[in-house]
Amino acid sequence: MTTAAAKQVLVVLGSLQARSSNGTLARALLSHLGGGVSITFTRALYDLPPFNADVEAGTPPAVVGVWREELAAADIVLFATPEYAFGIPGSLKNALDWVVGTGEFVGKRVALLGVSTMGSGASFALEALDRTIRVMSAEVIGMLSVGHVRGKLDENGQVSDPETRDALARLASDIAASLSV
């Protein structure tokens, strides 16, 4: 008897900081998924060169192929991003530019988590990200905006706010439900 392969969740952190709040909240969300799920944190945002259509038309760097393969293999992509100047970070936009015309997001299920120190909860970044991935034909299965994040984490960097923990659990439930389809 064969066992079903683990469902693949690819996590894309919009911040390159080692101890980012969006990474902290993404990990808290992922802790609700349980077994049968394989989670990969992409390094694409760290490694991709600036997008260049001339390079893409020729032979793109190997790291571009790795990024595209990670996306193709994922059952769901979780984006967790901060908001920079009311938009998504440049490194995240650059990563998306490398796949805008190659089809990895066609029909791909994605979940969006926006984290901000401001009250807006990264809503502008989420709006921009949502618009960008939908134009690439992705299916958004859930979205969560978390504002004033510093007041929702304890001194150890753990989520201490009950409402935030509950909201993360609900988004995790949406992801789990989508994985079971």
* Alpha helix segments (H runs only) across the chain: 21-30, 44-47, 53-57, 62-73, 90-97, 123-135, 162-179
Q: How many domains does the chain have?
A: 1
Is residue 132 one of the residues assigned to a domain? yes
Nearest to 139, CA basis, from 77, 70, 181: 77
* pLDDT attached to residue 3: 54
Tell me whether residue 1 is in a domain: no
Look-up: residue for tokens 């392969």? Answer: 5
CB 10 within 8 A of CB 37: no
Query: Which stretch of 59-68, 151-160, 167-176 has the lowest confidence by average pLDDT?
Result: 151-160
Predicted confidence at residue 34, as pLDDT, reads 80
pLDDT digits (tens, 9 = 90+) for 97-152: 999 999 999 999 999 999 999 988 899 999 999 999 999 999 999 999 999 999 99
Q: How confident is the model at residue 4 (pLDDT cuts 50, 70, 90)?
A: low
The reply to whether 2 falls in a domain is no
Range of the domain at 161: 7-179
Distance set, CA 175 to CA 7, 37, 132, 157 (Å): 11, 11, 20, 24
CA-to-CA separations, 130 to 88, 113, 125, in angstroms, rounded? 10, 11, 8
Q: What is the mean pLDDT of residues 28-52?
A: 94
- Write the CATH number for 62: 3.40.50.360
Tens of pLDDT, residues 68-103: 999 999 999 999 999 988 999 999 999 999 999 999
pLDDT(172) > 90: yes
Average pLDDT, the chain: 93
pTM of the predicted model, to two decimals? 0.94
Residue 141 forms part of a structural domain: yes
pLDDT > 90: what percent of the chain?
A: 82
Question: Positive or negative, the Cα torsion across 8, 44, 22, 87?
Answer: negative
